[in-house]
Amino acid sequence: MAPPLLQLQDIALTFGGTPLIESAELSVSPGERACLVGRNGSGKSTLLKIAAGLVEADRGKRFVQPGATVRYLAQEPDLSAFPTTLAFVEAGLGPGDDPYRARYLLEQTGLTGEEDPKSLSGGEARRAALAQTLAPAPDILLLDEPTNHLDLPAIEWLESELKSLRSAMVLISHDRRFLESLSQATIWLDRGITRRMERGFAHFESWRDEVLEQEELERHKLDRKLAAEADWLRYGVTARRKRNVRRLANLHAMRQERRDQKRAVGTVSMTLTEAEQSGTLVVEAEKISKAYGERPIVADLSLRILRGDRLGIIGPNGAGKTTLINLLTGVIEPDQGRVRLGSNLQRVTLDQRRASLDPNATVAETLTGGRGDTVVIGGQAKHVIGYMKDFLFSPEQARTPVGVLSGGERNRLMLARALAQPSNFLVLDEPTNDLDLETLDLLEEMITDYAGTVILVSHDRDFLDRTVGSVLVSEGEGRWLEYAGGYTDMVAQRGQGVQARTVEKETRPKNSERPAPAPAAAASKRKLSFNEQHDLKTLPKRMSEIEAKIAKVQEILADHELYSRDLARFQKATDALTQLQGELHAAEERWLELEMLREELEA
């Protein structure tokens, strides 16, 4: 076997008095593809930074073969020192690297190379960082969540690109299908230590369960032995007469061993509050169309969603998936056709922007709505601390502001708040972002067992296969077609996966042959105006403020005796609610229009 290119031995690191990593090992041989898995907060990203030489461990050794090149993809890259994205990517090239590969990778990730890094979104900056990491074809690639912010066409392209490289890789990802496709070995970071399996991620879950079952068996044996020795200490005749010192010392040693044992980290406990049953028909769309300017988002779509259906919506970034959801749920009106919603619907929406989370509110206030210290789940009151524990929040985090939570923690908080609300209609827009694999498992089970109706938008192919009964796929030019089954079934019927929204790059000549743009064409291009940029930036905050006001008015109207006790206040609150809902609708329409315009101009 070839000597390792990169090796970590007995790595330990402590943050704030609590050991994060106690004894971790990592070895990467030439051409090897390993995935690094573990719970959110277990230290995966930190261990990858130690491997990249960006963080120094408290203890342990790091070895890199002389002359081996290591490239690390961070979750939050910094491009501020570069004038364009192309300059950023080219800065990562070595003397012997192909300069054309930088532009090729940028185009494959949906960028032109001329973007100003100061105006990039988080997803665009991450795609530029991905291009910079892959451009030199290094000996070792350390990739931390490389599929974040990528749509399905980009994820499948990235899989193919990584398979074509000779580089050794260590991957962190929540995308099961991505890990199964690429990994040859699995490294599990659990409770500060690493375990290694010389098989890919497809075998991880069965291996993990075997390890945990064996641990539980050993713990049970130790508990029984402890009970027997304690019984001897209390009741043994010999013990009372002369106190066998060695046996007593062994008992104390076993007790210390039992105290030192770490149990596996708890799992999320999801309990969904279900409302009364809805009518048989949930959504009926009849020949609906929606366009922004010259660009069709939905064209002549007819669709029926019945109670209990699980519909997945699939398409590349910019296809209009969120707009389609808003059409189907009545948030926005179609330009043509009509949408009819069923009776007795109680809808709960989980939005991918997490815009409805107040960054200044605490975790407890977010879950209770700022009222008291209990959460009502399934008609029963539960203390907020107990409900937080169900979603792996510690009691100390009750007063933590939402703004300082990690992405995974904010998504768990969104789930916790959404699932506490009574519903019979769930709309989930990218619910899997930043969730660890165990939490994904439980979310899948929850959706499977849910008695109501589910509309799900996701780029996670495995999650779609496990949860939905049919998928609605963007075919381009506003056309959407429904296929029975999950993502894999759709590919089998369609003959191909989801294609990128714009395809002119495929027919565009190479850089050396690219003609100069005609003056008229150049003049026809425009950027967002100052007012449009300002609205696009400020509207999400404005919508959050309106939603908060709506919640306060709804709290007033929740008083069933208000109408008979104070008719004037009831009428005032009703009028205010109508006005606020109109303002929110107008703000959402404006934001959607500007977002679609921005995507169109960038494309």
Q: Assign a CATH topology to domain 526-603.
A: Helix Hairpins (1.10.287)
Residue 39 counted as an annotated binding residue: yes
Residue 185 is inside which H or E element, if any? strand 185-190
Residue 506's pLDDT band (boundaries 50, 70, 90)? very low
Domain ranges of the chain: 6-206, 207-260, 526-603
Vertex 70 angle, CA 173 and 167, to 5°: 70
* pLDDT the model gives residue 432: 80
CA torsion sign, 263 to 264 to 268 to 271? negative
CA-angle at 201, arms to 197 and 206, nearest 5°: 75
Most confident of 131-145, 377-391, 524-538: 131-145
Nearest to 387 by CA among 397, 398, 375, 378: 375
Q: Which of 155, 163, 203 is nearest to 182 (CA)?
A: 163
Mean pLDDT, the chain, integer: 81
d(CA 526, CA 512): 25
What pLDDT sits at residue 521? Answer: 38
SS3 302: strand
pLDDT of residue 524: 40
Between these two residues, 411 and 316, which has the higher pLDDT value?
A: 316
Q: What is the mean pLDDT of residues 549-578?
A: 81
**DSSP single-letter state for residue 369:** T
Of 51, 123, 55, 137, the C-alpha closest to 92 is 137
- Specify whether the CB–CB gap between 471 and 497 falls below 8 A: no
What does the alpha-carbon distance between residue 76 and residue 119 come to, in Å, rounded to a whole number?
Answer: 15
Buried b (16+ CB within 10 A) or exposed e, 205-225: eeebeeeeeeeeeeeeeeeee
Amino acid at 292: Y
Say if strands 6-15 and 18-28 run parallel, antiparallel, or are unpaired: antiparallel
How far is Cα 123 from Cα 385, in angstroms, rounded to an integer? 34
Determine if the pTM surpasses 0.95. no
The answer to whether 379 is a known ligand-binding residue is no
CB 553 within 8 A of CB 580: yes
Please indicate if the annotation marks 123 as binding a ligand: no
- At 390-437, the pLDDT tens digits run 777 888 888 888 887 766 677 778 878 877 888 889 898 888 876 777
570 residue type, one letter: F
Annotated binding residue 41? yes
pLDDT beyond 70 at 559: yes
Does 43 appear as a known binding residue?
yes
pLDDT tens string 321-363: 888 999 999 989 999 999 999 888 888 887 655 556 788 889 8
Q: Which of 235-249, 520-534, 561-575 has the lowest mean pLDDT?
A: 235-249
Identify the pLDDT of residue 519: 40
pLDDT of residue 252: 61
d(Cα 532, Cα 527) in Å, to the nearest integer? 9
315 is in an annotated binding site: yes
pLDDT of res. 507: 36
Known binding residue 113? Answer is no
Q: Would the annotation count 38 as a binding residue?
A: yes
Of 212-216, 252-256, 261-265, give the lowest mean pLDDT range.
Answer: 261-265
As a whole-number percent, the residues of the chain with pLDDT over 70 amount to: 83
Closest CA to 366 of 324, 332, 405, 311: 405
> What's residue 262's pLDDT?
55
Express each pLDDT in 80-92 by its tens digit: 889 999 999 998 8
For position 472, what pLDDT does the model report?
Answer: 93
318 is in an annotated binding site: yes
Q: Of 185-189, 427-431, 472-476, which gets the smallest average pLDDT?
A: 427-431
Amino acid residing at 450:
Y
Is 320 annotated to bind a ligand? Reply is yes
Among 213-217, 315-319, 407-411, which is the least confidently predicted range?
Answer: 407-411
Q: How far apart are CA 479 and CA 490, in angstroms?
A: 16
Count of beta carbons in the 10 Å neighbourhood of residue 35: 23
pLDDT average, residue stretch 165-172:
93
- Structure confidence at residue 57 as a pLDDT band (50, 70, 90): very high
For the structural domain made of 6-206, what CATH number should be given?
3.40.50.300
- State yes or no: 317 annotated in a binding site: yes
